[in-house]
Structure 1
């Protein structure tokens, strides 16, 4: 099973304000993506080379009760929320999670049409864990769809991405079992740290 970092989610209570802030920090304006029906969210995207940054926010056209959109709407300010890994074998990822003692939900089929009319279809396998929660990434299979990193605004690259957690050793063991090649560092509070190289220099993003 091949598992690679796919994208990083930066949650912002307001999409326009969140995208504008990322554009100000980096000098590259994210492009509007689309909505996620049933999840209460919509997004804008910024390429980071082989990966991308997803600015994810509540979708005012959807109900926000009991879903990710509602959770993001309650945030005091934007910040890194979780990340996704890419694999073409979601069943193997689910099996690896089970071996690590982690429950999963899905795969869930999803899709949207880009502003240029190109249809994207993918499937996600979500994590359900009361101890580590979204510190464990969900998995995405893009199937035959073009990867968003190749069609979103360029100019930034990802220099470093690390996970922070007070139970770093235990989380690292789970990552190893699931094939997740992302470093985990001991910290007082759970969180994430991403370092971007941008036209305006180095930019550091952290959890909210």
Structure 2
């Protein structure tokens, strides 16, 4: 089963945004690192259910504007149109190759996988792969799949000593057809609550709105 990996937020100044968010909700955020190949950088806040928030900002606009990575393209569009806050999220898998085969067999258009890496403060290199079902980021959003490399912990890049006690227990999501979502990600809705999908560590509630929200408890 898929797990919630992280939610991506942006703003005019992501360091400032992460600091303000931390003060408001009593959480600690740390500088993640730089992605030179995409012209971006991030700040991160880890949570007890092996998920995290990523504040993603642009460091080199020329590189970012020319990126073929759908997440970076979506980020550029969001900032150009003053769309701040949560705009994308990632679902964690350790079976990305199976999803690639699923997409091919079911004629689901996709981009990737894209390879990513960044250097940790201790000098070790963190690697991952990202897979994107095709969507029109000017109108909708489909979450991307992420698979972490061998230097990550079993549930992603977080260290327990950096985790906040809170957890992201529910995402409120909409803007795409629920049956389409079910087909793409091979998830089944709950029996009694038909507008919810269960994840390993959280749940997704379809709200019929295009604005992405989440509950931090």
TM over 0.5: yes
Q: Which residue of 2 aligns with 1:114?
A: 120
Q: Using a 3 Å threshold, how does the CA distance of structure 1 residues 136 and 176 change in structure 2: closer, same or farther? A: same
Give me the TM-score of the superposition, normalised by structure 2. Answer: 0.75
Q: Which of 196, 199, 204 matches 1:183? A: 204
Q: Which residue of 1 aligns with 2:165?
A: 155
The answer to whether the aligner puts 1:31 opposite 2:37 as a matched pair is no
Deviation at 1:47, TM superposition (A): 0.8
Deviation at 1:116, TM superposition (A): 2.5
Tell me how large the CA RMSD over aligned residues is: 2.8
Contact 1:97 1:177 survives alignment (8 Å): no
Match runs of 1:19-58 below 5 Å: 19-49=18-48, 50-58=50-58
Match runs of 1:167-178 below 5 Å: 167-175=176-184, 177=186
Contact 1:10 1:55 survives alignment (8 Å): yes
Contact 1:32 1:43 survives alignment (8 Å): yes
Distance in 2 (alpha carbons) for counterparts of 1:16 and 1:176: 32
Distance in 2 (alpha carbons) for counterparts of 1:134 and 1:30: 28
Q: Using a 3 Å threshold, how does the CA distance of structure 1 residues 75 and 13 change in structure 2: closer, same or farther? A: farther
Deviation at 1:22, TM superposition (A): 1.5
Q: Write 1 or 2 for the structure with the bigger share of strand.
A: 1
Larger relative contact order (Cα-Cα within 8 Å, sequence gap ≥ 6): 1
Distance in 2 (alpha carbons) for counterparts of 1:186 and 1:29: 29
Comparing 101-110 with 51-60, greater Cα deviation is found at: 101-110
Q: Which residue of 1 aligns with 2:146?
A: 140
Query: Aligned pairs, how many?
Result: 194
Deviation at 1:133, TM superposition (A): 7.2
Give me the TM-score of the superposition, normalised by structure 1. Answer: 0.78
Segments of 5+ residues of structure 1 without an aligned counterpart are: 198-208
Q: Which of 189, 194, 208 matches 2:214? A: 194
